[in-house]
Amino acid sequence: MIDKPAGLHTLPDGYDASLPHVRSVLEPEYGRLWIVHRLDRETSGVLVLARTAEAHRSLNTQFEQHQVRKIYHALVEGSPDWQEITVDLPLRVNVGHRHRTAVDAHRGKPAVTHLRVLKRYDQTALVEAAPETGRTHQIRAHLTHLGYPIVGDELYGASPSPSGVCLHAHSLELTHPATGERMKFTAENPNFCLPK
């Protein structure tokens, strides 16, 4: 597990392969690594890597079978008119010329996100998001559809922020591929997103 900083690609960039990414930064010190899941470049927080092909297969299976519990924290624009809500709206990726993810009842794939307000500020709120599925930009798209885009997420209509996109992978719970032990990893929130 690593605590990925915002701005670092998980995988090599499709347009510029010379940009740093997780493996290019870590492999010189740790040797061959396998990427199990990914975080958007703008997203910070818990990212799981495998040291062997066998561990990679086992962890991949857990993700595919929804056996991994992921918790994200997002600072959103506005104050939601709910305290807790489950969003069960299908999502379609690569919509339009900006390649956003959007709710699409007819052509989208199932997507479920559980949301809970943790703290309210003057013009923003800190929201916990627990996605059941792993669609591209799922949390960003669901929150935008509800009318509460993530602070700094210009792709989804939010105002620019000096802190960038305020989305953080807070914790991840999975079963260790070798020992069978249930484990939880947590990366504390970066404070740059929270109002002073």
The first and second tokens of residue 75, run together, are 């600072």
Assigned domain for 78 exists: yes
Structure confidence at residue 37 as a pLDDT band (50, 70, 90): very high
Structure confidence at residue 189 as a pLDDT band (50, 70, 90): confident
Assigned domain for 183 exists: yes
Is the confidence at residue 12, as pLDDT, over 70?
yes
- Count of domains in the chain? 1
Assigned domain for 53 exists: yes
The C-alpha atoms of residue 66 and residue 108 are separated, in whole angstroms, by: 19
Q: So what's the pLDDT on residue 196?
A: 63
Q: So what's the pLDDT on residue 163?
A: 85
Where helices occur in the chain by DSSP H, the ranges are 22-30, 53-64, 138-146
Q: So what's the pLDDT on residue 97?
A: 87
The β-bridge relationship of strands 69-77 and 91-95 is unpaired
The first and second tokens of residue 160, run together, are 């620019």
Catalytic residues: 40
Residue 101 · residue 135 · CB < 8 Å: yes
The C-alpha atoms of residue 124 and residue 104 are separated, in whole angstroms, by: 27
Assigned domain for 150 exists: yes
Assigned domain for 196 exists: no
Q: So what's the pLDDT on residue 4?
A: 95
Is the confidence at residue 173, as pLDDT, over 80?
yes
Assigned domain for 194 exists: no
The C-alpha atoms of residue 69 and residue 174 are separated, in whole angstroms, by: 7
Q: Which domain holds residue 83?
A: 2-189
Is the confidence at residue 52, as pLDDT, over 90?
yes
The C-alpha atoms of residue 73 and residue 86 are separated, in whole angstroms, by: 15
Average pLDDT taken over every residue of the chain: 94
The arithmetic mean of pLDDT across residues 94-106, rounded, is 92
Assigned domain for 43 exists: yes
CATH number at residue 66: 3.30.2350.10
Nearest to 165 by CA among 144, 187, 134, 196: 144
Assigned domain for 83 exists: yes
